[in-house]
Chain A
Amino acid sequence: MDKLLDDQIIQQIGEAFAQLKEPVQILFFGSRTQCDYCAEVQQLLEEVATTHDKVNVTVYDIQADRELADQYHVDKAPTIVVAAADGSQISNLGIQFSGIPSGHEFATLLNDIMMVSSRDSGLSAEVREFLKHLNQPLLLQVFVTPT
């Protein structure tokens, strides 16, 4: 497959990522059985990861790696999980995207990486307070149509 991201974009991403603080782990869940775009999404993530040594990708299959997929609540492919890495410890932050991260959603992916790297949500104090004290499960599914 040809490169998906041209040199100019790679350079721009590298510049945006110059500020990265802590390591970020991207977990990619694909499917060998039914997934038209899994190979492209995987390659896209791997190309993004080349721009900075604090960004790494590990590749999984939702069937072959069923236990891990269940642990991360991943039930469809392609799914991208953006997690925090501290040494060998990966922390699931509940941040995932299912589908093709194109157009606006590509910017969202890059912003998620930068946010996780900063280890700071950027939310207001009041909202943080409420969320931190939440004692019941909350699932937010945000439907988008990447261009």
Chain B
Amino acid sequence: MLAHQMAMENPVMIRAEGVDATEFPDLASQFHVQGVPQTVINSGTGTVVGAVPEQNLLDAIQRALKN
């Protein structure tokens, strides 16, 4: 999982949680998860739908962190 790979590079700052939307539907609906996989960045500051390449997730993270 790409997010897990990223966490490994800086575990002090980064945490990556895979979440089973079937077991935790309330959490999924809190973030309006419709298509999986969906990556929610910093509790909703950013979001990426689908399995994307490293650079795409990185771009989304950089955008989210600027907010």
Please state if B5 and A140 are interface contacts (CB–CB under 8 Å): no
Partner of B17, one of A37, A108, A141: A141
Please state if A95 and B23 are interface contacts (CB–CB under 8 Å): no
Query: Which residues 61-118 of A sit at the B interface, judged by CB distance below 8 A?
Result: 73, 76, 82, 91-101, 105, 108, 111-112, 115-116
The A interface, classified by DSSP as helix, strand, loop or mixed, is: mixed
- Is A1 engaged at the interface, CB distance under 8 Å to the other chain? no
Please state if A94 and B11 are interface contacts (CB–CB under 8 Å): yes
Complex: how many Å from CA A113 to CA B53? 21
Please state if A143 and B15 are interface contacts (CB–CB under 8 Å): no
| Residues of chain B with a CB closer than 8 A to A144's CB | 18-21, 36-37
Question: Which residue in chain A gives the minimum CB-CB distance to B7?
Answer: A94
Number of A-B contacts (CB under 8 A): 158
Please state if A127 and B17 are interface contacts (CB–CB under 8 Å): no
Please state if A142 and B6 are interface contacts (CB–CB under 8 Å): no
Complex: how many Å from CA A141 to CA B41? 7
Complex: how many Å from CA A138 to CA B64? 10
Complex: how many Å from CA A127 to CA B21? 28
Question: Which residue in chain A gives the minimum CB-CB distance to B6?
Answer: A131
Known: A124-B54, A130-B58, A146-B22. A139 touches B9 (CB 8 A): no
Known: A93-B7, A123-B54, A134-B13. A145 touches B22 (CB 8 A): yes
| Residues of chain A with a CB closer than 8 A to B38's CB | 142-143
| Residues of chain B with a CB closer than 8 A to A111's CB | 1
30 chain-A/chain-B pairs, Cβ below 8 angstroms: A93-B7, A93-B8, A94-B11, A94-B15, A96-B18, A97-B18, A98-B19, A98-B24, A99-B24, A100-B22, A108-B4, A112-B4, A116-B8, A124-B54, A127-B55, A128-B9, A131-B14, A134-B10, A134-B14, A136-B13, A138-B14, A138-B15, A139-B43, A141-B17, A141-B19, A142-B37, A143-B21, A143-B31, A143-B36, A145-B22
